[in-house]
Amino acid sequence: MVRIAVIDDVDADAHDISRLAEKASVSVYEGVPVEADKIIERAREAEVVICSWTKMSREVLTQLPRLRLLSVWATGVDNVDLAAASELGVTVCHVPSYATGAVAELTLGLMLSVMRKIPAADRDVRLTGSINWQAFQGTEISGKKLGIVGTGMIGQRVARVGHSLGMSLLGHDLQPSDALVCDLGMTYVPLRRVFAESDIISLHLPLTRDTERMVDATLLDLMQKTSIIINTARAHLLQQDDLFDSLYKRRIAGAGLDDVDLECESGRRLLKLENVVFTPHIGFNTTEAARKKTAICVENVLRFLEGTPINVVDYRPSPACGR
Q: Is residue 312 part of a domain?
A: no
Do residue 237 and residue 121 come from a single domain? yes
Q: Is residue 320 part of a domain?
A: no
Is 0.85 surpassed by the pTM of this model? yes
| Counted domains in the chain | 2
Strand order of the β-sheet with 91-93 is 25-28, 3-6, 48-51, 69-72, 91-93
Q: What is the CB-side half-sphere exposure of residue 161 using CA atoms within 13 A?
A: 22
Mean pLDDT of the residues in the chain: 95
Do residue 93 and residue 104 come from a single domain? no
Do residue 78 and residue 120 come from a single domain? no
Contact (Cβ atoms closer than 8 angstroms) between residue 75 and residue 126 = no
Do residue 273 and residue 217 come from a single domain? yes
Mean pLDDT of the region 99-123: 97
Q: Is residue 137 part of a domain?
A: yes
pLDDT of residue 322: 42
The domain that holds 107 is classified in CATH as 3.40.50.720
Mean pLDDT of the region 140-149: 98
Q: Is residue 172 part of a domain?
A: yes
Do residue 253 and residue 224 come from a single domain? yes
Do residue 164 and residue 231 come from a single domain? yes
Whether 160 is catalytic: no
pLDDT of residue 145: 98
Mean pLDDT of the region 297-308: 98
Do residue 274 and residue 299 come from a single domain? no
pLDDT of residue 93: 98
Do residue 141 and residue 76 come from a single domain? no
Q: Is residue 193 part of a domain?
A: yes
Q: Is residue 315 part of a domain?
A: no
Contact (Cβ atoms closer than 8 angstroms) between residue 84 and residue 61 = yes
Mean pLDDT of the region 308-318: 82
Q: Is residue 313 part of a domain?
A: no
Do residue 72 and residue 120 come from a single domain? no
pLDDT of residue 314: 84
pLDDT tens-digit profile of 88-103?
999 999 999 899 999 9
pLDDT tens-digit profile of 35-44?
999 999 999 9
Do residue 114 and residue 29 come from a single domain? no
Whether 281 is catalytic: yes
Q: Is residue 127 part of a domain?
A: yes
Annotated catalytic residue within 22, 35, 263, 306:
263
Query: Is the pLDDT reported for residue 296 higher than 50?
Result: yes
Query: Is the pLDDT reported for residue 19 higher than 70?
Result: yes
pLDDT of residue 316: 67
Query: Is the pLDDT reported for residue 315 higher than 90?
Result: no
- The pLDDT confidence band at residue 188, using thresholds 50, 70 and 90, is very high
Do residue 127 and residue 252 come from a single domain? yes
Contact (Cβ atoms closer than 8 angstroms) between residue 183 and residue 141 = no
pLDDT tens-digit profile of 62-78?
999 999 999 999 998 98
Query: Is the pLDDT reported for residue 56 higher than 80?
Result: yes
Residues, the chain: 323
pLDDT tens-digit profile of 201-250?
999 999 888 999 999 999 999 999 999 999 999 999 999 999 999 999 99
Annotated catalytic residue within 3, 44, 251, 281:
281
Q: Which domain holds residue 114?
A: 100-278
Whether 105 is catalytic: no
Do residue 93 and residue 159 come from a single domain? no
